[in-house]
């Protein structure tokens, strides 16, 4: 079987590095080119040292890109939309890992990103990238826009509840605790080790851009409100979303189990983690490092209608590169687990 020829645009960042790692070991893929303007001419493994002896590819400039079957775009936000015509001419299929084509509404994009979208007429050409929600659309998609990491954990955690109209639409509070790799590989004063180490830094208490994606995917035609906060903590990979919702009716935990089982029982990368004994009773991001799993747990407050949903992922995997590869597998009709079977490490 002929391999799918792919190239990665913007391959020197953490997401790009993870994607290269996954694609190099995918049995149906050949990585043709990887671009980086900052590191043109250098070996890919110079920037991603975990790939030593896995590839001899060198970074090229995006201006030198040759046509291929599919392009993965790992560019900074607000880059893809300004070059999209060129990319479309180079490849019939595109998976964009930036935020440029996640939102369907031009006005929502402007509201949350603070500037006009360069190509609003293309927003509806892209399928939103969470496979568990848009699997059928992905099978015939030409263009996919991978979801934000915080949004992915939040949406997957809450999707069964909103889909079944079980929660008060006005009162959803999500608190995400996130690792430093979410901030990318560009240094700043705040990422300097003496400043970053040991922090519990409330970096976006309100108005995080991922809120827009969460609203888009959970509204089901209704007006809903989601109150989202993000806190940086002292881990490199992973994030934990703690979501507080208020149930419209008094469901018992057994009924909530049933709802989650119905939604995710057959999903290869979603696990319901809610155990009555042991150390890891609820989702723990540490155990998910390098995996494509999203672990979801919940606990109903016995004294109120509050339900706490806890969702964990590796932000670079299920929140970025892993999710994109799962979508790629669906696009080409491969088993969607291909290249994503790593079960994680314990202890770590």
Partner 1 sequence: MFAKLKKWNKEKMKAECPVCGAMIDLPEGTVVGELIECPDCGTELEVESLNPPTVKEAPQEEEDWGE
Instruction: Determine if 142 is a binding residue for partner 1 (CB under 8 A).
Output: no
Structure tokens at 125: 């050409």
Nearer to partner 1, 136 or 262 (CB): 262
Nearest to 311 by CA among 244, 241, 257, 263: 241
Region binding partner 1 by CB under 8 A among candidate stretches 26-34, 177-185, 226-234, 273-281: 273-281
Structure tokens at 215: 């609203």
Instruction: Determine if 263 is a binding residue for partner 1 (CB under 8 A).
Output: no
Report, in Å, the least distance between residue 59 CB and partner 1: 46
Q: What residues form DSSP beta bridges with 297? A: 310
Give me the DSSP letters along 178-208. Answer: E-GGGG-S---GGGSHHHHTT--EEEESS--
Instruction: Determine if 274 is a binding residue for partner 1 (CB under 8 A).
Output: yes
Could you list the active site residues? 149
In the chain, what are the helix, strand and coil shares in percent, each to the nearest 5? 35, 20, 45
Instruction: Determine if 278 is a binding residue for partner 1 (CB under 8 A).
Output: yes
Torsion of CA 59, 60, 61, 64, to 10 degrees: -160
Q: Which of 73, 167, 272, 296 binds partner 1 (CB under 8 A)?
A: 272
Binding string, 216-255, against partner 1, x = CB under 8 A?
A: -------------------------------------xxx
Instruction: Determine if 299 is a binding residue for partner 1 (CB under 8 A).
Output: no
Nearer to partner 1, 215 or 263 (CB): 263
Specify whether the CB–CB gap between 86 and 35 falls below 8 A: no
Q: Which of 38, 194, 276, 333 binds partner 1 (CB under 8 A)?
A: 276
Instruction: Determine if 49 is a binding residue for partner 1 (CB under 8 A).
Output: no
Nearer to partner 1, 72 or 298 (CB): 298
d(CA 340, CA 233): 27
d(CA 160, CA 170): 17
Report, in Å, the least distance between residue 222 CB and partner 1: 28
Report, in Å, the least distance between residue 244 CB and partner 1: 20
Nearer to partner 1, 186 or 249 (CB): 249
Length of the chain as a residue count: 348
Nearer to partner 1, 177 or 274 (CB): 274
Q: Which of 121, 189, 250, 277 binds partner 1 (CB under 8 A)?
A: 277
Instruction: Determine if 266 is a binding residue for partner 1 (CB under 8 A).
Output: no
Instruction: Determine if 318 is a binding residue for partner 1 (CB under 8 A).
Output: no
Nearest to 98 by CA among 116, 81, 115, 121: 81
Nearer to partner 1, 244 or 258 (CB): 258
The residues, ordered by sequence, that sit 6+ positions from 115 with a Cβ below 8 Å of its Cβ are 78
> Which of helix, strand or coil describes residue 126?
coil
Q: Which of 85, 275, 335, 341 binds partner 1 (CB under 8 A)?
A: 275
Instruction: Determine if 284 is a binding residue for partner 1 (CB under 8 A).
Output: no
d(CA 5, CA 7): 7
Q: Which of 5, 46, 227, 258 binds partner 1 (CB under 8 A)?
A: 258
> Which of helix, strand or coil describes residue 298?
strand
d(CA 106, CA 319): 24
Residues making contact with partner 1 (CB under 8 A): 253-255, 257-258, 261, 272, 274-278
């Amino acid at each position: 079987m002929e391999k799918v020829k792919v190239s990665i645009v913007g391959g020197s960042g953490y997401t790009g590095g993870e994607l290269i790692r996954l694609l190099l070991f995918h049995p149906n893929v050949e990585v043709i080119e990887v671009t980086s303007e900052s590191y043109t001419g250098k070996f890919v493994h110079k920037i991603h040292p975990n790939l030593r002896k896995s590839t001899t590819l060198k970074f090229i400039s995006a201006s030198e890109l040759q046509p291929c079957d599919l392009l993965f775009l790992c560019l900074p936000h607000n880059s893809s939309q300004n070059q999209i015509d060129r990319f479309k001419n180079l490849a019939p299929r595109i998976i964009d890992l930036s935020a440029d084509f996640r939102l369907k509404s031009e006005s929502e994009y402007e509201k949350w990103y603070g500037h006009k979208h360069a190509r609003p007429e293309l927003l509806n050409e892209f399928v939103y990238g969470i496979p568990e929600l848009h699997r059928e659309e992905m099978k015939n998609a030409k263009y996919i826009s991978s979801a934000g990491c915080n949004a992915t954990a939040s949406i997957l955690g809450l999707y069964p509840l909103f889909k079944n109209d079980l929660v008060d639409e006005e009162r959803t509070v999500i608190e995400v605790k996130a690792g430093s790799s979410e901030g990318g590989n560009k240094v700043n004063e705040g990422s300097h080790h003496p400043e970053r180490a040991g922090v519990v830094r409330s970096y976006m208490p309100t108005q995080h851009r991922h809120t827009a994606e969460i609203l888009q995917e959970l509204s089901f035609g209704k007006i809903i409100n989601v109150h989202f906060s993000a806190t940086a903590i002292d881990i490199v990979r992973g994030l934990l979303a703690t979501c507080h919702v208020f149930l419209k009716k008094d469901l018992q935990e057994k009924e909530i189990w049933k709802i989650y089982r119905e939604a995710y029982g057959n999903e290869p990368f979603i696990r319901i983690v809610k155990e009555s004994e042991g150390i890891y009773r609820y989702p723990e991001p540490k155990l998910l490092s390098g995996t494509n799993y999203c672990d979801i747990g919940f606990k109903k407050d016995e004294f109120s209608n509050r339900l706490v949903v806890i969702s964990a992922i590796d932000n670079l995997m299920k929140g970025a590169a892993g999710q994109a590869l799962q979508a790629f597998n669906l696009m080409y009709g491969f088993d969607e687990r291909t290249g994503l079977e790593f079960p994680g490490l314990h202890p770590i």
